Amino acid sequence: MSLVKKQLDSNDITAREARAFWSKVSVGDPDECWTWLGTISGNGYGIYKTAAYGIIGAHRLALLLASKQPLGNLTVHHSCRNPCCCNPRHLSASAHKDNINEMIQRNLSQGNLPFVRKLTDEQYNRIAILYSTGKYTQLDLARRFGVSQPLINYIVRGGKTANAQMGSSGPSACV
């Protein structure tokens, strides 16, 4: 039994499955966001269950089907900043680290982090302490504090507190 996850390849998606996928996308004009109408994950991204791969990101499948290029370990970046968008013109493959760094820098430069809830300096410190015990995963802490896993990753890797970065108001609330 192999523990290596099968490489995502458009050849493994049947024409029927591709049609079923696109039927869950509100396709608009070429430059508009094409909204995912199916299931939405807890972090706001569309998800779709395929026969070959199980559950994957809808935006990931949209780019794969449109480009017919394997994505490998790359993530899919939304130039429109809309996690429910499946318009291939708004999607590009990028390294996970580059995608997260761009997202953090973009939001810091705008004075907010719209993908997270407001955290106090005390909560930032508590997250770092809890993670350092080894008893909690980043996902455990994200759920416990009601924030995104990328923010937990940022905090445990030494990211500054919201108030140190944003001023006293902290980041914007998640809707």
pLDDT in tens, 10-39: 667 888 999 999 999 999 899 998 999 988
The whole domain housing 124 covers 113-166
Shared domain check, 142 and 88: no
At 103, is the pLDDT very low, low, confident or very high (cuts 50, 70, 90)?
confident
Shared domain check, 79 and 135: no
Lowest mean pLDDT among 37-41, 100-104, 168-172: 168-172
Q: What is the model's pLDDT at position 68?
A: 87
pTM of the model: 0.58
Range 146-151, long-range pairs (CB < 8 A, 24+ positions) = 146/117, 146/174, 147/116, 147/117, 147/119, 147/174, 148/43, 148/115, 148/116, 148/174, 149/43, 150/100, 150/103, 150/104, 150/115, 151/113, 151/115, 151/116, 151/119
Shared domain check, 77 and 147: no
Shared domain check, 84 and 17: yes
Q: What is the model's pLDDT at position 96?
A: 83
Q: What is the model's pLDDT at position 163?
A: 42
Shared domain check, 64 and 34: yes
Q: What is the model's pLDDT at position 11?
A: 67
At 158, is the pLDDT very low, low, confident or very high (cuts 50, 70, 90)?
confident
